Structure 1
Amino acid sequence: MTFLAPKPPLLILFCALSLCLSYVMAFSAGDTQILLRVKAQLDDPKGKLNDWVPGSGRSPCNWTGITCEPNNFSIVSINMSDFGVHGAFPVRLCLIRTLQSLSLSNNYINGTLSTQSLTPCSHLHVLELDLNILVGQLPDFSPEFTELRVLNLEGNNFTGDIPASFGRFPQLQVLKLSGNLFTGPFPPSLTNLSELIHLSLADNPTMKPSVLPAEIGNLTKLEWLYLSLTGLTGHIPDSIGNLVSLKNLDLSQNSLSGKIPESIGSLRSVQQIELFLNQLSGELPESIANLTSLQNLDLSQNGLTGKLSAGIAGIHFVSLHLNDNLLDGSVPEILASSPDMLNLHLFNNSFSGSLPENLGRNSALQDLDVSTNKFTGQLPQYLCSGKNLSSLVTFGNQFSGNLPQTLSECQSLSYVRLEQNELSGEVPDKFWGLPLLADLRIHNNRLNGSVSSSISAANGLVALTISGNSFSGELPPQICKLSELEELDVSGNHFSGEVPSCITELKKLQKLRMQQNMFTGEIPSHVSSWTQLTELNLSKNQLSGSIPPALGDLPVLNYLDLSDNFLTGEIPVDLAKLKLGQFNLSDNKLYGKIPAGLDYEPFASGLMGNPGLCSSNMKPVHPCQRRKSPTVVLAIILSICVLLLVGSVLWYLKIRAQAFGGKPKRLYSVTSFQRVGFSGDDVLASLTNENLIATGGSGHVYRVKLKSGQILAVKKLWGGSSKEPESEAVFRSEVETLGRIRHGNIVKLVFCCSGEDCRILAYEYIENGSLGDVLHGEKLGPLVDWPARFSVALGSAHGLAYLHHDCVPAIVHRDVKSNNILLDKEWTPRVADFGLAKTLERDVAAGHSSMSRVAGSYGYIAPEYAYTLKVTEKSDVYSFGVVLLELITGKRPNDLSFGENKDIVKWVTEAALSSPFSSDGDGEHDEGCGVDLGQIVDPRMNPSTSDFEEIGKVLSVALLCTSAFPINRPSMRRVVELLKDQKPSGQK
Structure 2
Amino acid sequence: MNTLFLFENQITGSIPPEIGNLTMLNELSLYTNQITGPIPFELGYLLNLQNFGLSNNQISGTIPDSIGNNTKLVVLNLYQNQISGSIPKTFGKLQSIQELYINHNKLSGSLPQEFGDLINLVALGLANNSLSGPLPTNICSGGRLQYLYLFSNMFNGPIPRSLKTCTSLVEISLQRNQLTGDISQHFGVYPQLKRMSFASNRFYGQVPPNLDACTKLTILRLAQNMITGSIPPILSKLLNLEELSLNSNRLSGEIPQEICSFANLYRLNLSSNQLSGSIPTHIEKLRNLAYLDISGNRLSGSVPEDLGGCMKLLSLKINNNSFNGSLPDVIGNLASLQIMLDVSNNNLSGALPQQLGKLGMLEFWNLSHNQFSSIILSSFASMVSLSTLDVSYNDLEGPIPTTRLLQNVSASWFLHNNGLCGNLSGLPTCYSTPVAGHHKRKIIGLLLPIVLVVLFGIVAAVVVIITLSCNKRKPQESVTAEGRDLFSVWNFDGRLAFDDIVRAAEDFDDKYIIGTGGYGKVYKAQLQDGQLVAVKKLHQTEEELDDERRFRSEMEILTQIRQRSIVKMYGFCSHPAYKFLIYDYIQQGSLHGILENEELSKQLDWQKRIALTTDVAQAISYLHHECSPPIIHRDITSNNILLDTSFKAFVSDFGTTRILKPDSSNWSALAGTYGYIAPELSYTSVAIEKCDVYSFGVVVLELVMGKHPRDLLDGSLSNGEQSMMVKDILDQRPTTPISTEENSLALLIKLALSCLESSPQSRPTMREAYQTLIQPSSGSTTMPFSALTLQQGMHVDIRSGS
Equivalent residue in structure 2 for 1:401, among 288, 297, 301? 301
Aligned to 1:240: 139
Query: What is the CA-CA distance between 1:459 and the residue it aligns to?
Result: 1.1
Aligned to 2:697: none
Q: Give the gaps of 5 or more residues in structure 2.
A: 464-560, 573-580, 626-630, 644-648, 659-666, 678-701, 736-802
Equivalent residue in structure 2 for 1:820, among 610, 617, 638? 617
Alpha carbons of structure 1 residues 884 and 183: separation in structure 2 relative to 1, 3 Å: farther
User: Counterpart of 1:904 in structure 2: which amino acid?
Assistant: G
Query: What is the CA-CA distance between 1:892 and the residue it aligns to?
Result: 5.7
Aligned to 1:770: 565
Contact preservation (8 Å) 1:545, 1:567: no
Query: What is the CA-CA distance between 1:101 and the residue it aligns to?
Result: 5.0
Query: What is the CA-CA distance between 1:160 and the residue it aligns to?
Result: 1.0
Equivalent residue in structure 2 for 1:130, among 4, 17, 31? 31
Contact preservation (8 Å) 1:129, 1:154: yes
Return the alpha-carbon distance in structure 1 between the equivalents of residues 601 and 224 of structure 2: 35
Aligned to 1:108: 10
Aligned to 1:848: none
* 2:179 maps to 1:280: yes
Return the alpha-carbon distance in structure 1 between the equivalents of residues 675 and 4 of structure 2: 47
User: Counterpart of 1:267 in structure 2: which amino acid?
Assistant: C
Aligned residues: 574
TM-score, length basis structure 2: 0.62
* 2:666 maps to 1:904: no
Return the alpha-carbon distance in structure 2 between the equivalents of residues 240 and 775 of structure 1: 61
Instruction: State the secondary structure of the residue aligned to 1:496.
Output: strand
Alpha carbons of structure 1 residues 399 and 463: separation in structure 2 relative to 1, 3 Å: same
Return the alpha-carbon distance in structure 2 between the equivalents of residues 483 and 374 of structure 1: 36
User: Counterpart of 1:341 in structure 2: which amino acid?
Assistant: L
Alpha carbons of structure 1 residues 478 and 288: separation in structure 2 relative to 1, 3 Å: same
Aligned to 1:480: 381
Alpha carbons of structure 1 residues 509 and 614: separation in structure 2 relative to 1, 3 Å: same
Equivalent residue in structure 1 for 2:162, among 263, 279, 293? 263
User: Counterpart of 2:98 in structure 1: which amino acid?
Assistant: I
* 2:586 maps to 1:783: yes
* 2:418 maps to 1:518: yes
Equivalent residue in structure 1 for 2:211, among 292, 295, 312? 312
* 2:194 maps to 1:194: no
Return the alpha-carbon distance in structure 2 between the equivalents of residues 198 and 302 of structure 1: 26
Query: What is the CA-CA distance between 1:537 and the residue it aligns to?
Result: 6.0
Residue correspondence of structure 1 range 387-536 to structure 2 within 5 A: 387-438=287-338, 439-500=340-401, 502-504=402-404, 506=406, 513-521=413-421, 523-524=422-423
Contact preservation (8 Å) 1:102, 1:128: yes
Residue correspondence of structure 1 range 684-703 to structure 2 within 5 A: none
Aligned to 1:303: 202
Contact preservation (8 Å) 2:633, 2:657: no
Which deviations, in whole Å up to 9, do the C-alpha atoms of 1:725-763 show, x marking residues without a partner? xxxxxxxxxxxxxxxxxxxxxxxxxxxxxxxxxxxxxxx
Alpha carbons of structure 1 residues 211 and 566: separation in structure 2 relative to 1, 3 Å: farther
Aligned to 1:184: 85
Return the alpha-carbon distance in structure 2 between the equivalents of residues 272 and 492 of structure 1: 46
Residue correspondence of structure 1 range 715-734 to structure 2 within 5 A: none
Which deviations, in whole Å up to 9, do the C-alpha atoms of 1:222-253 show, x marking residues without a partner? 11101112222111121113141111111111
Contact preservation (8 Å) 2:111, 2:131: yes
Alpha carbons of structure 1 residues 367 and 783: separation in structure 2 relative to 1, 3 Å: same
Aligned to 1:755: none
Return the alpha-carbon distance in structure 2 between the equivalents of residues 900 and 167 of structure 1: 55
User: Counterpart of 1:781 in structure 2: which amino acid?
Assistant: D
Alpha carbons of structure 1 residues 904 and 402: separation in structure 2 relative to 1, 3 Å: same
Contact preservation (8 Å) 1:424, 1:446: yes
Instruction: State the secondary structure of the residue aligned to 2:139.
Output: helix
Aligned-residue identity in percent: 21
Equivalent residue in structure 2 for 1:332, among 209, 232, 235? 232
Aligned to 1:218: 117
Aligned to 1:611: 451
Query: What is the CA-CA distance between 1:202 and the residue it aligns to?
Result: 0.9
Which deviations, in whole Å up to 9, do the C-alpha atoms of 1:831-854 show, x marking residues without a partner? 988999xxxxxxxxxxxxxxxxxx
Aligned to 2:60: 159
Instruction: State the secondary structure of the residue aligned to 1:611.
Output: helix
Return the alpha-carbon distance in structure 1 between the equivalents of residues 98 and 225 of structure 2: 32
Return the alpha-carbon distance in structure 1 between the equivalents of residues 562 and 355 of structure 2: 52
Contact preservation (8 Å) 1:882, 1:958: no
Contact preservation (8 Å) 2:349, 2:371: yes
User: Counterpart of 2:243 in structure 1: which amino acid?
Assistant: N
Which deviations, in whole Å up to 9, do the C-alpha atoms of 1:497-536 show, x marking residues without a partner? 2222x23455796786111112355x227xxxxxxxxxx7
Alpha carbons of structure 1 residues 469 and 616: separation in structure 2 relative to 1, 3 Å: closer
Structure with the greater alpha carbon radius of gyration: 1
Q: Give the gaps of 5 or more residues in structure 1.
A: 1-96, 526-535, 547-563, 569-586, 592-607, 624-765, 808-812, 823-830, 837-855, 862-878, 910-952, 981-988
Return the alpha-carbon distance in structure 2 between the equivalents of residues 388 and 173 of structure 1: 41
Return the alpha-carbon distance in structure 2 between the equivalents of residues 773 and 272 of structure 1: 53
Return the alpha-carbon distance in structure 1 between the equivalents of residues 731 and 438 of structure 2: 55
Query: What is the CA-CA distance between 1:426 and the residue it aligns to?
Result: 1.8
Alpha carbons of structure 1 residues 108 and 484: separation in structure 2 relative to 1, 3 Å: farther
Query: What is the CA-CA distance between 1:384 and the residue it aligns to?
Result: 4.3
Alpha carbons of structure 1 residues 491 and 350: separation in structure 2 relative to 1, 3 Å: same
Return the alpha-carbon distance in structure 1 between the equivalents of residues 656 and 209 of structure 2: 44
Return the alpha-carbon distance in structure 1 between the equivalents of residues 446 and 596 of structure 2: 50
Residue correspondence of structure 1 range 648-727 to structure 2 within 5 A: none
Contact preservation (8 Å) 2:305, 2:330: no
Query: What is the CA-CA distance between 1:788 and the residue it aligns to?
Result: 8.8
Which deviations, in whole Å up to 9, do the C-alpha atoms of 1:363-407 show, x marking residues without a partner? 311101111110001112344424110101111101111222221
User: Counterpart of 1:282 in structure 2: which amino acid?
Assistant: G
Query: What is the CA-CA distance between 1:314 and the residue it aligns to?
Result: 4.9
Return the alpha-carbon distance in structure 2 between the equivalents of residues 883 and 972 of structure 1: 25
Alpha carbons of structure 1 residues 800 and 384: separation in structure 2 relative to 1, 3 Å: farther
Query: What is the CA-CA distance between 1:462 and the residue it aligns to?
Result: 0.8
User: Counterpart of 1:330 in structure 2: which amino acid?
Assistant: S
Alpha carbons of structure 1 residues 348 and 881: separation in structure 2 relative to 1, 3 Å: farther
Alpha carbons of structure 1 residues 325 and 187: separation in structure 2 relative to 1, 3 Å: same
Which deviations, in whole Å up to 9, do the C-alpha atoms of 1:199-240 show, x marking residues without a partner? 111111x32x31111111221211110111222211112111
Query: What is the CA-CA distance between 1:150 and the residue it aligns to?
Result: 2.1
Aligned to 2:797: none
Return the alpha-carbon distance in structure 2 between the equivalents of residues 397 and 894 of structure 1: 35
Instruction: State the secondary structure of the residue aligned to 2:349.
Output: strand
Contact preservation (8 Å) 2:45, 2:70: no
User: Counterpart of 1:412 in structure 2: which amino acid?
Assistant: K
User: Counterpart of 2:139 in structure 1: which amino acid?
Assistant: I
- Give the CA RMSD over aligned residues: 4.9
Contact preservation (8 Å) 2:272, 2:297: yes
